[in-house]
Amino acid sequence: MGFGRTHDIGEVSSEMIGQKVILGGWIEDLRKLGKITFLTIRDSTGITQVIVKGEQNDKIEGLNRQSVLRIIGTVQETRAKDFNFEVGAEEIEVLAKAIHPLPIDPLGRLESNIDNRLNSRALDMRNQKTASIFKLRHHVLSSIRKTLIEKKFIEINTPKIIGSASEGGANLFSLDYFGKTAYLAQSPQLYKEQMTIGLERVFEIASFYRAEKSHTGRHLSEFTSVDIEAAFMDYTDVMGVLESLIMEVFKFTSTNCKDEQKSIGHEIKVPSSPFEQLTYGKVLDELNAADQKLEFGDDLQDSHLRIVGERHPGFYFITDWPLKLKPFYIREKDDDASLSRSFDLQYGYLELSSGGTRLHDPELLKSRLKEQGLDPSQFADHLRAFDWGMPPHAGWGLGLDRLMTTLVGLDNIREVVLYPRDPDRLTP
Q: Which residues bind ligand AMO (CB under 6 A)?
A: 167, 187, 189, 210, 212, 219-220, 223, 225, 227, 351-356, 395-397, 399, 401-402
Cβ nearer to ligand AMO, comparing 43 with 200? 200
Cβ nearer to ligand AMO, comparing 37 with 187? 187
Phi, psi of 20 (to 5 degrees): -85, 140
- Tell how strand 161-162 and strand 180-184 pair up: antiparallel
At its nearest, how many Å lie between ligand AMO and the CB of residue 393? 10
Cβ nearer to ligand AMO, comparing 24 with 399? 399
| Angle of helix 302-311 versus helix 280-289 axis, rounded to 10 | 90
Contact present, 87 and 76 (Cβ < 8 Å): yes
Cβ nearer to ligand AMO, comparing 60 with 350? 350
- State the alpha helices, DSSP H only, in 257-392: 258-264, 280-289, 302-311, 362-371, 380-385
Which residues, at least 6 apart from 14, have a Cβ–Cβ distance to it below 8 Å?
Answer: 75, 77, 84, 85
At its nearest, how many Å lie between ligand AMO and the CB of residue 309? 14
At its nearest, how many Å lie between ligand AMO and the CB of residue 328? 11
Query: Residue 107 and residue 93: Cα distance in Å, rounded?
Result: 23
Cβ nearer to ligand AMO, comparing 68 with 407? 407
Exposed e or buried b per residue across 280-303, where buried means at least 16 C-beta atoms within 10 angstroms of its C-beta = bbebbebbeeeebeeeeeeebeee
Cβ nearer to ligand AMO, comparing 7 with 192? 192
Between CA 185 and CA 117, with CA 211 as vertex, the angle to 5 degrees is 105
Q: Rg (Cα) of the chain, in Å, rounded?
A: 27
Helix (H, G, I), strand (E, B) or coil at 269: coil
Rounded to the nearest angstrom, the gap between the alpha carbon of residue 298 and the centroid of all alpha carbons in its chain is 30
At its nearest, how many Å lie between ligand AMO and the CB of residue 339? 16
Cβ nearer to ligand AMO, comparing 81 with 215? 215
- CA dihedral sign, ordered 279, 280, 285, 287: positive
- Tell how strand 350-357 and strand 393-399 pair up: antiparallel
Cβ nearer to ligand AMO, comparing 60 with 413? 413
At its nearest, how many Å lie between ligand AMO and the CB of residue 176? 23
Indicate the residue whose CB is closest to ligand AMO. 399
Cβ nearer to ligand AMO, comparing 100 with 215? 215
Which residues, at least 6 apart from 158, have a Cβ–Cβ distance to it below 8 Å?
Answer: 185, 188, 191, 192, 204, 206
At its nearest, how many Å lie between ligand AMO and the CB of residue 20? 50
Query: Residue 2 and residue 82: Cα distance in Å, rounded?
Result: 31
Helix (H, G, I), strand (E, B) or coil at 89: strand
At its nearest, how many Å lie between ligand AMO and the CB of residue 392? 15
Which residues, at least 6 apart from 15, have a Cβ–Cβ distance to it below 8 Å?
Answer: none
At its nearest, how many Å lie between ligand AMO and the CB of residue 187? 4
At its nearest, how many Å lie between ligand AMO and the CB of residue 138? 19
Cβ nearer to ligand AMO, comparing 118 with 123? 118
CB atoms within 10 A of CB 204: 22
At its nearest, how many Å lie between ligand AMO and the CB of residue 274? 20
Helix (H, G, I), strand (E, B) or coil at 191: helix
Which residues, at least 6 apart from 174, have a Cβ–Cβ distance to it below 8 Å?
Answer: 181, 182, 183, 184
Cβ nearer to ligand AMO, comparing 42 with 368? 368
